[in-house]
Amino acid sequence: MSVRIGIIGPGGIGRSHIARITDKLARGRVVAVTDIDPAHAQRVADPIGATVYADDAALIEAEDVDAVIVTSFGPAHEGSVVRAIEAGKPVFCEKPLAPTAAECLRIMAAEQRGGRRLVQVGFMRRYDAGYRELKAVLDSGDVGEALMVHNRHRNPSSPENYLEGMSITDTAIHEIDVMRFLLGEEIVSARVDKPKRTTNRFPHLSDPLVLVLRTTSDVLIDVEIFVNNTYGYDIGCEVVAERGAVALGDQNAIVRTGTAGRSNRIAADYNERFEAAFNTELQEWINSVQAGEIVGPSSWDGYAAAVVCDAGVRSLRADGSQEFAVELIEKPAFYA
């Protein structure tokens, strides 16, 4: 039988997830939708024959909803995720689990009170073939220990409601998580450098930024975050190790050579760049809901990334380029 799914906040990514569940993935069906904009919820629900609910609480309580996907605005995640946990329903929450560590701690407390893992966080880069191959090379030991990592996270543009701080909590959080995944270490400090600002940005925003992180074994990580580059969705990652360097391929696309030179298409957005990763991530989540055991990125991973974000946001708001320590609580045995 299919997993009957309710979606809370189907905006850009939520509608992409509905399309993949409906058209591409197996054993999942979207049966319920809610949004703070009820007319929008109705427009999303009609073509798939889903029921519209007045709010997240009503959707979560619905008898025919087996599991929940939260794709609303980050600050709204905590309430919906805790409600799903309290109803005993598995919940896939898009990143960030919540924008601050304090909110993530409350989610973890609710999950532990419930006594079983119910939450998966949408850190889809862990499912990307390129990052997985990078990890396999590092884990093989062929290139020795990782020493430094250079990352590039560029978006063509950001919307007006993309606020100062979201460069860290909404954008660089992908690198923060995937660095923990690749290196198998926690991050111990964060610093934000603020280069000259582009004129192609809203006045409230510092853009671009460089986030500098250090891990427990002293690997130095830099993340260029540029969310108004005007040209495309451009992701890069190069790990410099003792006996070699390993980098993601550029864009996963063909390279064309001709009289005009050599070029490859730049992805337009996250859907194009990470389509395969999103499909694998959500298919594995549906499978794990059916199997009754959630195995993907946990609330602990959401929390560990949020603590780094807290330090990064403090640095962004401080004068100059100040480094802030990242202090995690001890990992609960529940998440071992």
With CB under 6 A as the contact rule, the residue among 29, 45, 59, 72 that binds ligand NAD is 72
Q: Give yes or no for a contact between 93 and 119, defined as CB atoms under 8 angstroms apart.
A: yes
Q: To the nearest 10°, report the CA torsion of 102, 104, 106, 112.
A: -140
**Alpha-helical segments (H) within 194-298:** 270-291
Instruction: List the one residue out of 125, 55, 41, 51 whose CA is nearest residue 84.
Output: 55
| 42 is a contact residue toward ligand NAD (CB under 6 A) | no
With CB under 6 A as the contact rule, the residue among 127, 233, 270, 285 that binds ligand NAD is 270
Two tokens, residue 142: 């062929």
Q: Is 271 exposed, middle or buried (0-12, 13-18, 19+ CB in 10 A)?
A: middle
Closer to ligand NAD by Cβ: residue 169 or 215: 169
| 36 is a contact residue toward ligand NAD (CB under 6 A) | yes
Site for ligand NAD in 75-134 (CB under 6 A): 76, 94-95, 122, 124
- Cα distances (Å, whole numbers) of residue 168 to 58, 124, 126, 236: 32, 17, 19, 17
| Least spacing, CB of residue 68 vs ligand NAD, in Å | 12
Site for ligand ISE in 133-162 (CB under 6 A): 155
- Alpha carbons 111 and 274: distance in angstroms, whole number: 29
With CB under 6 A as the contact rule, the residue among 127, 131, 270, 303 that binds ligand ISE is 270
| Least spacing, CB of residue 83 vs ligand ISE, in Å | 22
| 12 is a contact residue toward ligand NAD (CB under 6 A) | yes
| 281 is a contact residue toward ligand NAD (CB under 6 A) | no
Write the CB contacts of 261 (distance below 8 Å, at least 6 apart in sequence): none
Judged by CB under 6 A, which stretch of 58-66, 168-176, 186-194, 238-246 contacts ligand ISE? 168-176
With CB under 6 A as the contact rule, the residue among 11, 114, 236, 332 that binds ligand NAD is 11
With CB under 6 A as the contact rule, the residue among 24, 27, 37, 253 that binds ligand NAD is 37
